[in-house]
Structure formats: C-alpha cells, structure tokens
Amino acid sequence: MKNLLYIVLIFLPFLTGAQLSLEEKNKIAALRIKIENASHDTTIIQAWIDWDNMIYVADPDLDLALNKKIDSLCEKNLAKKNSKKEKEFYVKSRSFALNNIGLIYKHQGDYALAIEYYEDGLALSESVDDKKGIANSYNNIANVYRNQGNYAKAIEYYMLALTLNEEIENKTGISMCLNNIGILYEFQGEYDKAVEYYSKSLEIDKELGNKKGIAASYGNIGNIYSDEFEYAKAIEYMMKSLELKKEMGNQSGIAITLINLGNVYKGLEDYDKAIEYYTESLQINEELGNLQGKAMCLNNIGVVYVKQNLHQEALKYCSKSLDISKELGAIIEIQNASKTLWEIYKTIGEPAKALEMHELYVVSKDSVLSMQNQKEVLNQAYKYAYEKQATADSIKAAEANKVKDALLAAEQAENKQHQLEAEQQELQKYYLIGFLGLALLFGGFIYNRFRVTRTQKNTIEDQKNIVDRAYDELEEKNKEILDSIVYAKRIQNAILPPPKLVKEYLSNSFVLYLPKDIVAGDFYWVEHRDDKILFAACDCTGHGVPGALVSVICVNGLNRSVREHGLTDPGKILDKTREMVIAEFEKSEDEVHDGMDVSLASLEGNKLEWAGANNPLWLVRNGELIVYKPDHQPIGKYTQPTPFTTHSIDLQKGDTIYVFTDGYQDQFGGDKGKKLKAANFKKLLLSIQGETMPNQKQIIEAHFNKWKGEFEQIDDVCVIGVRV
C-alpha cells in the first residue's frame, strides 16, 4: 500500500510544479521523504492532508485522487480495533477528505453528489463531536444551497456553522461564515451591509494571515463596486484578489476573478479586454472541468460579440453555453444564454428560433424570480436563528443557577418569617394612634381641597379664554402665511417651463417633479437657442420657502447666461451662472453659502454636450447604464473653484438620457426604513427600457410612492428622461 502511494507521489511534483513556489516544492519533497519512511498510517495520512492543503483545487483530478486515497486508507483503519485517540484521528481525517471531494464536485456543478459527500463528512464529525469539522460541513452544505438559489436553507446552515465556530473560537471559520453571509446580503442588493460583513471577514483574515480568505474578501468587495458602476475601485480590489490567488495556485478562484474582470471591462465598453479575460477564464475552467464556469464564460463572450455586431460568432458561443447549462440544470445560466440567443435570432431574422428562446427565457426568468422571492424567508431565517440561539443561552444560564437560587430562597424565607413576626407586633402599637390622627387630617384635607378646587376652576376658565383668543389670532396668521406661500407657488410655476413647451422641444421625454412642500428648491429648466435644446435638473440649497427663494436667483442666472450672454456650452453656462449667483449673495452683509447642484445638457441632433455640478448624467444604451461623473463643486461659493467641464457624447438611436436631483435616491422607505440609493435607482431604470417615456414616468413615480410608504418625503424630487 505504501509503495502505491509512493508511486503517485513521484509524479505529483511534475503535475503541480508550475503552480507551486520553491518553498512549497521543498515542503513537498520533505513530505515525500516522510511518507517513504513512515512506520504508521497516521503519519502517511497527515502528510497527505498537509500536501492537499498546499495544492487545494489547483488540479482537480489529482486533488480528487489524493482525497479518495485518504478516504480509503482511513476507512480501512476504522475497520480495525483502534485506541480512542486513533479512532478520532481517522474519523476527522476521513471527514476532511469527504468534504474536499464534495468541494471538487461542487466546482464541477454536480451539486447532488457534492451534498452527498458533505453530509457523509458531517455524520463522521458528529460521531466524535468534532465541532470544527461539523461547522466546516455546515458551511460547505450552505454554499451548495446558495448556488442553487435556496437562500433559506443556506442561511440556516451558515448560522449553524457560525454558532459552532464562535463557540470554539475558530477565527478562520468565523471569517468564512461572515464572508458568506455578506454574499447573501449582496444577492439581496444590500451592498452596504454586504461590504460591512466582507470587511469584518477581511479584518480577521489579515490578522490570521489567511491568504485564501483575504483573496475572497477582496474579490467580493470588488464585485460590489462593479455592481455600483465604480469600475476603478472594482478593478483595484479584483487585481489584489487575483494576485493572491495566483500566489496560492488557486485556479478555480483565478477563473472566477477573471470572469469578474471581464464584466468590469464590458461595462467600460473595452470589449477586446473583456474577451481577453473571459477567454483566459474559459481555458482554466476547461482544464478544471468546471462546466458552470465554462457556460458563464461562453455566454459572456457571446454578449460581447453581440455588442460588436458579430452575431454569427455570438450565436456559436451562446449555443454552447445553453447546451452546457441545460445539462447542469443551471437556471441562471439558462436564463442568461436564452436571453442572448433570443436577441441574436431577432436580429438575424429567424423569428421561429427567437420565439423558442424567448419562451425558454421567460420560463427560466420566472424560476429565478421565484428564488429571489425567498428574500422574506431569508430575513425570517436570520431572525429565527438568532432568537433560537438567544433562547438556548437563556435556558443554559437558568439551569446553571437553579441550585444556587433554591438554597438562597430557603435562607431568605426563614429570615423573612422572623422579620414578619417582629413587624406585626410593632405595627399593632401604631394602628390605633394612626387611625385617630388620620381622621383629623382627612377632615382638614376635605375642607382645604374644596377651597383649592373652586379657585382652580376660576383660573382655568380665565386661561381658556386667553388660549381661545390666541388660537384665533394664530389661525388667522397661518391662513395669511399659507395664502402667501400658495401665491408664491403660482409665481414659481410661472417660472417653470410649461409642459407644452417641454413636449415641443423634447418630444420623446418626461419630467417627474414632486416638491416636498408647496414650493420647492428643486426645479427643471428648458431653453432653446441656435438649434440646441438645453435642459437641466436643478437642486437649490434647502426646500420649501428657503429653497424656492434660492431657486429664483439660480433660474435668473441660467436664463441670463443664455439669453444675455449667448452661451450654449454647458460648462460655460455653469461658470457664468456661478459668477452671477455669487455676485447676488455678496450684496448681503451676512456670509451666504447657498447655491445649486445641477445636471445640464445641450442636445443638437445626435450630439449631446453635458456638464454637472455635483449631479451626474446617466445614459442607458443597449441594456447598459453609463455614468458620466460631474465636477464635485456647487453653483455658489466654494473653497477652490475650477471651470466646469463640458463632456461631448455621440448619441445612438434608442439611447435614453437621465438627469435628476438627489431627492429620489435619498428617500427613506422600504421594509427596513433605509435610503433607496443610486444602485436601486439604476436597476429600476434598466428594467423599464422597454417602456414608453410617459409609462416610465408613471412607473418611476409609483415605485417612489411604494418605497416611501408611510415615511415622510425628505426632499424635493426632479427626474428628467429623454430618449433619442
């Protein structure tokens, strides 16, 4: 048996050498000598385990063979009579191997077989009360359920794993659980919460020097930034993750990070770079036999080819992706591939196949949505898991104090009996004296209360008359103020462009305008000059009456910049408006720092020029949302003002432009009373691109009202959408 193991060992350095450092090769050489000279199977098994921890899943075939050898050798020894210590070693080692075999099958997309091995490993760990092994199996099972979209089951097992790891103070296990819970938050779109958990996990892994965990956290944080379109930060974190995974020779991890980098460059429209990363990942997944990863790469390459109008190439890759996805039963990959194929067949004029793919897309999408509807179940699972643990802790504490409390209670009861007897004798002496004194006091009290009540009644009547007069006066003042504000609203409405004018200049557009109060600090602005249509969403300091007063000055600045000074370049308009707004406020003796944030566009045919003061412009094109970032300075006083930047954008037919103020995404609401946030606003806009612009307005407004619910509107809202 030892000779057979040695034969395999001879070839391992050549199979894995390209992925191992010199230090690791030296360690493997030492392990070979250790196995060759071993006099006991425990020594051989431990050497194999140490070896496996170095190669991880860099070579799945080799890793699988190695762990099956460990399993077989442990099983053989467990059939013999062993000491308690030896039995525990063989059980733990066999559980380790079974979990690793399950991990390999999970990477290959065979989830049923992976669960089978994980559960076998779990049973072994439970037989010797190996809490670390039990927690590891729980975590592995949860990962499979997460990949299958069964989030309720996933969180159930993650919480079991986290509880055990905290009990035994296993920091590596705690970090792993925190990271995985972060992934679940990311799936729910709660990116801030996800980053919080990833950061906690990263902190622990840095303390432990756990490269595998550090790489995972870096990669996950990078994905969050990618989801929020912050591509520079996404690349920074993904490259850190990639570097560490290459150091460890973690090929499956490298493949995942390469896909994520491809997604980032696809978002940046650097299609050559995107295909380069997807192709590299595809090659690794083929070597690893990771069919799900292969399907993802093939479809992603197909999507890029669609964007480059290379439809025949796209068809080839996406068809392969769909075949593999069907074989695996990978619902999300089936959805993605069928959607891309539907678009391809529509474009190349094959309606029958387009219809077939559309039907498959709808069915798979419904399945995915069903998975996503488990969010409420997931939240309930969180609550249940924590409440269950709290209850267990309470019971344990109660049992621990039961004997102590019983003894203390007996002693207290005896002392109380003596005390009561003494107190009863003393009280009897005072009862008679107290009764006589109380009778005299009660008579005096009744007479005194009669006099006080009569005086209070007269005082209250006088005060009521004063309050009634004050209320009438206040009501009259309030009516006068309200009438003035309503009249101010008429004036503000007269300043705003009428809907008819907006429709004339921007025929395929909408304006959603929802003031928080009667008058607003937000406003929209439209102007026509030299065949150019200028439009802007503006947010002045404050809301209500103060905001409205500032808006009058800012509207005047915009109008004069165009009408008097003849400006049409958005950056120069903002420069001139800032100059005039500052000049107006400098007339005051007080230091005034009020001003305006604005997103201003100039449209002429298919040419768009744009400039922003703190507020961006979003452009949706072919299902992708592109963010144009503003200058981070207001229209008003600023410590280091610079000229505003004008961006030139070549538009394509079907492009949709959005400019807006921050009131929509800053609104509190939803089930947890949180901000709506930009990421959710982006998702909403991407989801309604098939709708007309009037319908988009209705959907955006309905979504805002539903999100707000019973919460108060916190700011004015202004959103302008224009389709080319």
The 3-class secondary structure across 231-297, one letter per residue, is HHHHHHHHHHHHHHHHHHCCHHHHHHHHHHHHHHHHHCCCHHHHHHHHHHHHHHHHHHCCHHHHHHH
In this prediction, residue 454 carries a pLDDT of 59
Lowest mean pLDDT among 122-131, 313-322, 327-336, 715-724: 327-336
pLDDT (0 to 100) of residue 386? 45
Inform me whether the pLDDT recorded for 351 exceeds 70.
yes
Residue 435: what pLDDT? 45
| pTM to 2 decimal places | 0.46
pLDDT tens, position by position, 148-186? 767 778 888 998 999 999 999 999 999 999 999 888 888
Confidence grade of residue 13 (pLDDT, cut at 50, 70, 90): very low
Residue 176 vs residues 125, 167, 183, 258, 543: alpha-carbon distances, Å: 19, 15, 11, 22, 46
> What is the number of other CB atoms lying within 10 angstroms of the CB of residue 92?
19
Phi-psi region of 548 (alpha: psi -120 to 50; beta: other; left: phi over 0): alpha
Residue 367 above 80 pLDDT?
no
From the number of C-beta atoms within 10 Å of its C-beta (0-12, 13-18, 19+), residue 44 rates as buried
Q: Which two tokens stand for residue 166?
A: 């905290």
The pairing of beta strand 607-613 with beta strand 596-604: antiparallel
pLDDT averaged over every residue in the chain: 80
pLDDT of residue 587: 65
Other beta carbons less than 10 A from residue 305's beta carbon: 22
DSSP string, 373-441: TTHHHHHHHHHHHHHHHHHHHHHHHHHHTHHHHHHHHHHHHHHHHHHHHHHHHHHHHHHHHHHHHHHHH
CA gap 486, 482 in Å, rounded: 6
Boundaries of every domain in the chain:
1-129, 399-495, 499-723
Give the up-direction half-sphere exposure of residue 254: CA atoms within 13 A in the CB hemisphere: 23
Instruction: Name which of 165, 446, 168 is nearest 181 in CA terms.
Output: 165
CB atoms within 10 A of CB 33: 10
Of the pLDDT bands very low, low, confident and very high (cuts 50, 70, 90), residue 490 is low
242 pLDDT above the threshold of 90: yes
For residue 555 the two structure tokens come to 């509207």
Highest mean pLDDT among 65-69, 447-451, 536-540, 550-554: 536-540
Phi, psi for 590 (deg, rounded to 5): -85, 155
What is the band of 444 on the pLDDT scale with cuts at 50, 70, 90?
Answer: low
Taking residues 217-246, report their average pLDDT: 92
Q: What is the pLDDT of residue 398?
A: 45
Is pLDDT at 45 greater than 90 in this prediction? no
Question: Quick one: which of 35, 16, 38 has its CA closest to 25?
Answer: 16
Report the alpha-carbon distance of residue 233 to residue 185 in Å, rounded. Answer: 20
Output the pLDDT for position 475.
Answer: 63
pLDDT for 18 equals 40
Tokens representing residue 530 in the block: 């030299």
| Percent of the chain surpassing pLDDT 90 | 40
Q: Are 594 and 540 in contact (CB under 8 A)?
A: yes
How buried is residue 690: exposed, middle or buried, by Cβ count under 10 Å (0-12/13-18/19+)?
exposed
Confidence band, pLDDT 50/70/90 cuts, at residue 233: very high
In the predicted structure, residue 58 carries a pLDDT above the cut 80: no
**pLDDT for position 249:** 84
Q: Is 609's pLDDT higher than 60?
A: yes
pLDDT, tens only, 610-627: 999 999 999 999 999 999
Distance CA 429, CA 558 (A): 92
C-alpha dihedral sign at 464, 469, 474, 479: positive
Q: What would the pLDDT profile of 249-267 be if each residue is shown by its tens digit?
A: 888 889 999 999 999 999 9
> Pick the residue with more confidence: 332 or 621?
621
Report the pLDDT averaged over residues 544-572. Answer: 87
* Residue 695 token pair: 């319908």
Query: What pLDDT band is residue 460 in, cutting at 50, 70 and 90?
Result: low
**What is the per-residue pLDDT for 15?**
38
**What is the pLDDT confidence band of residue 373, given thresholds at 50, 70 and 90?**
very low
pLDDT of residue 57: 52
pLDDT level of residue 458 (50, 70, 90 thresholds): low
Q: What is the mean pLDDT of residues 661-685?
A: 90
Model confidence at 11, in pLDDT bands (50, 70, 90)? very low
Q: How confident is the model at residue 491 (pLDDT cuts 50, 70, 90)?
A: low
Predicted confidence band of residue 27 (pLDDT cuts 50, 70, 90): confident
Residue 429 has pLDDT above 70, yes or no: no
- Least confident range from 62-66, 233-237, 261-265, 540-544: namely 540-544
Each residue's pLDDT tens digit, 283-326: 999 988 888 889 999 999 999 999 999 999 999 999 999 999 88
Q: Which of 67-81, 127-141, 459-473 has the highest mean pLDDT?
A: 127-141
> What percent of the chain has pLDDT above 70?
76
Q: How far is CA 157 from the centre of its chain?
A: 21
pLDDT, position 178: 92
CATH 3.10.580.10 fits 499-723, yes or no: no
Band (pLDDT 50/70/90 cuts) for residue 14 is very low
pLDDT per residue over 374-421, tens digit each?
454 455 445 444 444 544 444 444 444 443 454 344 445 445 545 554
- Three-class DSSP category at 204: helix
pLDDT of residue 1: 37
